[in-house]
Amino acid sequence: MHPFNTHEREQVCELLKREATQLTRLRHPSILEVVEPVDESRTAIAFATEPLMATVGDLVHGRRRGQVSDDGEPFELDELEIQKGLIQVAKGLQFCHQDAKLAHGNLNPEAIFVNGKGDWKLGGFAFSTFTNRPAGALGNELSVAELEDMLPDACLPNRDYMAPERAFDRRVDLSGDMFSLGALIHAIYYKGEPPARAGRTNNAHSAAIDAIEKKSLEQIPASLRLMVHQMLSKQAEQRPSAAAFQQSSYFDNLLVSTIRFLETFCEKSRDQKIQFLKGLPRVLPQFPDRALKKKILTLLLEEIKDHTILPLILPNVLSISEKLSATDFTNRVLPALKPLFSIKEPAAAVVALLDKTSVLQKKTTPATFKEEVLPLVVNALDSTIPLVQERALKVLPTVAETLDYTVVKNSVFPKTQSLFCTTNVLSVKVNTLICFHAMLKTLDKFTIVERLLPMLRQAGSREPAVIMASLVLYDEVGRNQLDKEQVASEVLPELWRMCMDPGLNLAQFKKFMKAIRELTDKIEEMQAKHLGEMKRLDDSTRASANASPGLGTGRVGAVTTLANICLLLTLPDDQLQALRRFPWATLSSFFPVAAVAPVAMPHAFPLMRRHLQAQPPPPPPLLLLLLLLRSLHLPWPVSLQRMTSSVVSCLVPARYGCLTDGPGLNVNAWCLHECTGPITQIGQCEGGGYTG
C-alpha cells in the first residue's frame, strides 16, 4: 500500500473520528464499547475500545489460527459459537435499525470484532447513516457518498458484501444491512468466500449477484439455508428484518435458547428464574467447555448476589468450576464465593457449598482452603438445621488431615461431641461417630480416654446403626490408641455389653465377636510375652541370690555392689517394676560382678529415678550401703566417682536429707528435693534443707 498524501490522511482521520463518534453514541451489549474517547494530535488520532481478540474475518480466513482467548485456550468457531455470534450481531442490528434508526452501511467480517469472552461486537460504523434525518440535517458532517468520493481506494467500503442498491445506487438503507449479513453468513460457512465477488465493472458485479439465486448453499445448515437465500435477494423488500432473522428455526435449539434466556435473565420473573435454574444442570453437559467457562459462568456469576435464588445458582457455578484451572477459578470464581463462606442463610446455599467442598479444595491452595473454606465447614456444625449438620459432618472426614491439632481439640471435637449428645436425628448421630473416627489420628490419648470413651459409654441410643458405628470406633481405639490394660478395662467390657443388644442381627453380632476375639488375642499375646519375661527375670534373680548371698566387704565389696546396682539400672522398664518387691539389702546378690560402662549410667539413672519416685523410701540397708561407699578413703577412678554420685542422686529420697562429699569420693553431690543448692559443709546446704 502506497503512503497516503496529506489530503488522504486528513480523510482517513475524518473516517476514524466518524467511527469513534458513532460508537460513543451507541450503547448496546452487541456494539463495540469505547472506553477512552478520541485523542487527536497533529499527526495522529486514537481511541480505545474494550479488549479484543480478533475479527470474524481473522477467524474465517484462518489468519488467527491457534488464536487464544483471555483464558489461554485456543479459540475455534464451532457451531454454537457461530449461532451465538450471529444472534448477537442480529441483536445489534435490530437495535440500530429500530431504536437508533441507523443503517450500518459496511457490514462485513472485518467489521465484527470478537472479545476475549467470545462475544461478537458490531463495529465499523464509519459509513453508517441515520435513516430518520432529512438531507442537510447532519450539519458539517459529510454524507456517505461525499466521504467515499474523497477516500483512497484502500479505505472504501467492502463491495463484496454490499447490497446491489448500495453498490450501484449508493443508497444506504436498513435492508442493505440484511443483505450484508447474508453475505457474512456465506463467508463463515464457505471459509471466507463471499457469495459474489465485486468485479471491476458494475456489469460484472451485477452478474455475480444475479448468480447467487442459483446457488444451492449446501454448506450452510439446512435450517438456515432458506433464510440466507431471502437475505441475498436483489429485491430489498424480500429480505427479512433483523428481528425476523432471530426467529429462524436455526436458532431454535436448547443451547442457544439457554444462552438467550441467560442474556435476558434480569428481565425474567422470579418464578421463571427458578424454573430455568432447576433445569439448567441437565443442559450444562451438552455445552462445549468454552461456552460454559466464558459465557454461562459469566452470566451466572452476575446473578450470584441474589440470595433468593442462590441455592439454585451455586450448584451450577460449582459444577462449571470443576472444568476451570486453579488459576482461573481463583481469579474469577473465588472472589464471588468468599462472602458466602460466612453466611448461615439460606440453609440450602450452605448445603450447596458443603456438597462441593472437594471442588473448592482442589481448585485452591492449601493455605487458601484452610483460611477461607474450612471455617465454612466448622461453623456449619453450629447450625440448628439437621441437613446442614449432616452435610458438615460428611465433609469433615474428607478434610480431617488438613485440620490442626488445636482446631480439632478446641473447636471441631467439642462441637461434634455436643451434636452427638444432643441430636435426635439418627443420620446426624451416626455421622458424628464417623467424624470421631476420622479425628483419631489427630486427637491425643488423654482426650480419647477422658472425653471420647466416657461419652460413648453414656450414649443412650440403642439404634443398630449407632451401635455398629461405635463398634468401628472402639475397634480402632483398641487396636492403635490404648495399651493392653486400658483395652481390657475400657474397651472389651463395652463391646460385650453392646453385642448383647437385642436390636442386632446375626451378621452384626458376628462382627462384634470378631472384633472382641481379635482384641482379646492381641491382649493375650502381649500379656503372655510380658509374663514370660518376668518369669525369666525371677529365675535369673534366684540363681544369682544363691551364688552371692551378701553385700561384700571392704572396698572391693562396695565396688561390686555399686556395679551390680548400675547393671540393674539398665534393665527394661517392666523388669524394673517387677524388682520393686525385693529387699534393697540384697541388691548386690542379683547379678555377678560385672564391668559396667560409666557412659551408660546417665541413661540408666533417670530411668530408675522415674520408677522409684512414687515408691516408699528405701530401707536402711541401702542407706548403710551408700554410707559405706562414702567411708572409703582410697582414690577411685573419676568415672567411678561420677557413677557413685549419680547413684546417690538417683536413689536417695528427700526425706533422708542431702549427702555430703566423702573425702575419698571427691564428688560434689547435690541436695535432693528439699535442698536447692550445693553442699557447703557436712550437714548443711545452700538454700536450707536437711543434710545427713
Residue pLDDT, tens place only, 163-190: 888 878 778 789 999 999 999 999 999 9
The whole-number average pLDDT for the span 42-55 is 86
Q: In whole angstroms, give the CA distance from residue 196 to residue 595.
A: 112
Give the CA count within 13 Å in the CB-facing half-sphere of 469.
22
* Residue 96: pLDDT over 60: yes
Burial class (CB in 10 A: 0-12, 13-18, 19+), 241: middle
Q: In whole angstroms, give the CA distance from residue 567 to residue 563.
A: 6
C-alpha cell at 574: 517392666
- pLDDT tens-digit series, residues 314-346: 999 999 999 999 999 999 999 999 999 888 889
Q: 74: which DSSP letter?
A: B
61 three-class SS: coil
The whole-number average pLDDT for the span 648-666 is 39
Q: In whole angstroms, give the CA distance from residue 244 to residue 247.
A: 5
Higher pLDDT: 15 or 24? It is 24
Q: Which of 55, 67, 220, 204 is nearest to 123 (CA)?
A: 55
* Residue 596: pLDDT over 50: no
* Residue 490: pLDDT over 70: yes
Number of H helices, E strands in the chain: 35, 9
Q: Residue ranges of the alpha helices (H) in 440-505?
A: 445-447, 453-457, 464-480, 484-486, 492-499
Q: In whole angstroms, give the CA distance from residue 297 to residue 304.
A: 11
C-alpha cell at 267: 428481565
CATH class of 6-251: mainly alpha
CB count in 10 Å sphere of residue 305:
10
Q: Residue ranges of the alpha helices (H) in 56-135?
A: 56-60, 79-94
C-alpha cell at 153: 481506494
Q: Which of 606, 616, 569 is nearest to 590 (CA)?
A: 569
Q: In whole angstroms, give the CA distance from residue 191 to residue 658.
A: 104
Q: In whole angstroms, give the CA distance from residue 21 to residue 40.
A: 13
Q: Residue ranges of the alpha helices (H) in 570-660?
A: 573-578, 601-612, 620-631, 638-651
Q: Which of 8-17, 145-154, 432-441 has the lowest mean pLDDT?
A: 145-154
Q: In whole angstroms, give the CA distance from residue 664 to residue 678.
A: 18
Contact between residue 543 and residue 532 where contact means Cβ atoms under 8 Å apart: no
Contact between residue 297 and residue 320 where contact means Cβ atoms under 8 Å apart: yes
DSSP bridge partners of 54: 114
Phi and psi at residue 54, to the nearest 5°: -170, 180
The whole-number average pLDDT for the span 113-121 is 89
Q: Which of 485, 497, 486 is nearest to 458 (CA)?
A: 497
Q: In whole angstroms, give the CA distance from residue 251 to residue 245.
A: 9
What is the chain's mean pLDDT, rounded?
78
Choose the most confident range, by mean pLDDT, from 245-249, 266-270, 456-460: 245-249
Sorting pLDDT into bands at 50, 70 and 90, what band is 572?
low
Contact between residue 364 and residue 334 where contact means Cβ atoms under 8 Å apart: yes
Give the CA count within 13 Å in the CB-facing half-sphere of 344.
9
Contact between residue 126 and residue 63 where contact means Cβ atoms under 8 Å apart: no
pTM score of the predicted model: 0.64
Contact between residue 173 and residue 103 where contact means Cβ atoms under 8 Å apart: yes
The whole-number average pLDDT for the span 1-16 is 70
- pLDDT tens-digit series, residues 494-515: 999 999 989 999 999 999 999 9
Which pLDDT score is estimated for 652?
41
Q: Which of 257-271, 413-427, 662-676 has the lowest mean pLDDT?
A: 662-676
Which pLDDT score is estimated for 672?
36
Q: In whole angstroms, give the CA distance from residue 446 to residue 431.
A: 23
* Residue 126: pLDDT over 60: yes
Locus of grid cell 516408699: 616
The dihedral built from the CA positions of residue 209, 213, 217 and 218, taken in this order, carries a sign that is negative
Q: In whole angstroms, give the CA distance from residue 103 to residue 233.
A: 18
C-alpha cell at 607: 530411668
CA dihedral of 12, 14, 15, 21, whole degrees rounded to 10: 150
* Alpha-carbon distances, residue 378 vs 294, 375, 383, 465, 558 (angstroms): 33, 5, 10, 24, 66
533-565 burial, b at 16+ Cβ within 10 Å, e below that, comes to eeeebeeebeebeeebeebbeebebbbbbbbbb
The structural domains of the chain, with segments of one domain joined by +, span 6-251, 548-647
173-194 burial, b at 16+ Cβ within 10 Å, e below that, comes to bbbbbbbbbbbbbbbbbeebeb
Q: 75: which DSSP letter?
A: P
* Residue 640: pLDDT over 60: no
* Residue 681: pLDDT over 60: no
* Alpha-carbon distances, residue 247 vs 232, 443, 482 (angstroms): 18, 65, 74
- pLDDT tens-digit series, residues 334-383: 999 999 988 888 999 999 999 999 999 999 998 899 888 888 998 899 88
* Residue 628: pLDDT over 50: no
Q: In whole angstroms, give the CA distance from residue 590 to residue 546.
A: 9
- pLDDT tens-digit series, residues 463-480: 899 999 999 999 999 988
DSSP bridge partners of 183: none
For a pLDDT cut of 90, what percent of the chain falls above it? 38
- Bridge pairing between strands 45-49 and 679-681: unpaired
* Alpha-carbon distances, residue 585 vs 550, 621, 657 (angstroms): 9, 5, 20
Sorting pLDDT into bands at 50, 70 and 90, what band is 133?
low
* Residue 451: pLDDT over 80: yes
Q: In whole angstroms, give the CA distance from residue 18 to residue 670.
A: 101
680-689 burial, b at 16+ Cβ within 10 Å, e below that, comes to eeeebbeeeb
Q: In whole angstroms, give the CA distance from residue 229 to residue 32.
A: 28
What is the Cα Rg of the chain in Å?
46
Choose the most confident range, by mean pLDDT, from 83-97, 158-172, 607-621: 83-97
Which pLDDT score is estimated for 145?
60
- pLDDT tens-digit series, residues 216-233: 899 999 999 999 999 999
Higher pLDDT: 554 or 416? It is 416
- Helix, strand, coil shares, percent, the chain, to 5: 65, 5, 30
